[in-house]
Structure 1
């Protein structure tokens, strides 16, 4: 069962709004990402505009992200996405976290993208994907896309989708998917690679 973080107390709100996080130097970020200096400057301006403190908490992330999917409920997927971007698991996303993740998603190699996707699906970050984790992500994507996008989708569709996926991926039938199984299956399966395109479209 997924429990989303509740609203922050007013104390931590105050604390977050007064923290001014200075990002790493542009040169360092340019070396770590596939963005040009100009692109990084432009991304940083946009980031600072939305988040003057230089840090994004989960509630802010959800409200920004939900604007892109007015036809559905994006809060649960945004929660998972936030955790995938929040690399040091401290409850806020720095500009560095954001651009490093974005660089992988937009310009990374297939393997880099699959590694990132695995991290998203591995909700509890134990190095394995369970069927429950995969179902939670899949349901959140269906919720986000909204009833109007898939009017013919039945309620059981996400779990049927996951059953098929999981059966293909869990090669040794031990009930969990490792990163090796995940990458190998995805690369060999054209349908899964096409589904990964859907995944990219919802970033």
Structure 2
């Protein structure tokens, strides 16, 4: 399990910085720039209340978001194209699909700036509980409140495909399934074949390796 979450957080830390979201504030900006976009984000004060970013940080994030997505919206195909740029050695399509669904909080098929910045706030500055809930939501592909072996295997295979066949050490073909078996051995406390949010949170918070991996984001912004 720790290998799974370690890899998850390493990927997100590296690729979040790759999207151009190093925060550089500009004191001359007093509000979000809303011209020339079809989707206008919520007010700056409201977004500040919903996240753990300052106004200047939100302004910087919005400039980066608008630069990548001038319409103010990101559909899944655009998200896949952007994300795949960072993994030329592999196929990031499936993992990007899962990640897109995790950011698309309302499930409407598009990531608004609000969706992105709220998710980013959790990953970068959320509590341990908030970060773990976000990770659980990523793994719970059908959003029924349980992680099954099939869902976890799909996630692990997508990571395997994304990292490519030329990683070091070389990822063995059976590695995804082995990760899943270790995950369920540790997480599935009552051995009913699924992992609940309660089992997930309890196990993760008792695991020093997982907790260490979650500190990766603290100094990104």
**Structure 1 length as normaliser, TM-score?**
0.84
Q: How far 1:193 sits from its partner (Å)?
A: 3.6
More displaced stretch, 90-99 vs 18-27: 18-27
Which residue does the alignment assign to 1:117? 135
In the alignment, the residues of structure 2 paired with residue 97 and residue 86 of structure 1 have an alpha-carbon distance, to the nearest angstrom, of 6
Paired residues of 2:124 and 2:217 also in contact (CA < 8 A): no
Structure 1 distance, partners of 2:217, 2:90, is: 16
| Match among 101, 106, 126 for residue 124 of structure 2 | 106
Q: 1:195 to 1:145 in 2, by over 3 A?
A: farther
Contact 2:98 2:138 in 1 (8 A): yes
Aligned counterpart in structure 1 of residue 108 of structure 2, from 90, 96, 108: 90
1:1-203 alignment, distance < 5 Å: 20-194=38-212
Which digits, 9 at most, give the CA deviation of each residue in 1:2-41, with x for residues without a partner? xxxxxxxxxxxxxxxx981110001111111111111111
* SS, match of residue 93 in structure 1: strand
Give how far 1:154 is off: 0.9
Report the secondary structure of 2:166's partner residue.
Answer: helix
Q: Secondary structure at the match of 2:111?
A: strand
Distance change in 2, residues 1:117/1:98 (3 Å): same
In the aligned structure 2, how far is the partner of 1:198 from the partner of 1:123? 24
Paired with 2:87 and 2:57, the residues of 1 have a C-alpha distance of: 25
CA contact (8 A) 2:128 2:214 kept: no
Shift of 1:192: 3.6
DSSP-derived class of the 1:129 partner: strand
How much does 1:50 deviate? 1.4
2:155, 2:212 → 1: CA distance?
17
Tell me the distance in 2 between the aligned counterparts of 1:72 and 1:167: 29
* 1:199 to 1:162, Cα distance in 2 relative to 1, 3 A: farther
Structure (1 or 2) with the greater helix fraction:
1
Consecutive unaligned residues in structure 2, runs of 5 or more: 1-35
* TM-score using structure 2 length: 0.78
Please list every run of 5 or more consecutive structure 1 residues that lacks an aligned counterpart in the other structure: 1-17
With over 3 angstroms needed to count, the CA separation of the structure-2 counterparts of 1:102 and 1:75, relative to structure 1, is: same
Q: How many residues align?
A: 183
Cα deviations across residues 148-174 of structure 1 (Å, max 9, x unaligned)? Answer: 224422100111011011111010111
Deviation >3 Å, runs of 4+: 191-200
